[in-house]
Amino acid sequence: MKALHSLWRVVLAVCLAAPWLGLVSFTALAVSATLHLGRLPRYANPDPKTVPEIALLHDSTWILLGLAVLAPLVVGAYAALCLVRSRRIELRGRWLVAHLAGFALVVMTYFGDPLGLTDWFLD
């Protein structure tokens, strides 16, 4: 039972950090593409999958942002489990606030993208 609790804590730590890791990876991808092209990338110009210098960063960004989207489900399940078992959530408030702030930034980045980088990335 102790090993399962330790595994949950590792999974929870990764999920709490996932939105921020996704944002850092997306920013690094955009900066790398901008430096490689000498300008901001635009929709299908170039297709991010076809630039060999940023291909690994592109793939890791997809993975991290996918994890960032699923992370609130894991954090919510953990909080619900804590409430059912002991009536006390074992998450510190600042960690939960940091996770929710990161998730809100991910959502704002993708739905309010003024530079068109999200359209370029999702192409």
pLDDT score, position 24: 92
Residues of the chain with pLDDT under 70: 1, 4-5, 44, 47-49, 87-92
Q: What is the pLDDT of residue 115?
A: 76
CB 103 within 8 A of CB 71: yes
Cα–Cα dist 4/100, whole Å: 25
The whole-number pLDDT of residue 88 equals 61
b/e map 41-66, b = 16+ CB within 10 Å: beeeeeebeebeebeebbeebbebbe
**pTM confidence score:** 0.78
Cα separation of the two ends of the chain: 44
**Distant-in-sequence, close-in-space partners of 10: CB < 8 Å, separation ≥ 6:** none
Closest residue by Cα to residue 66 from 119, 118, 22? 22
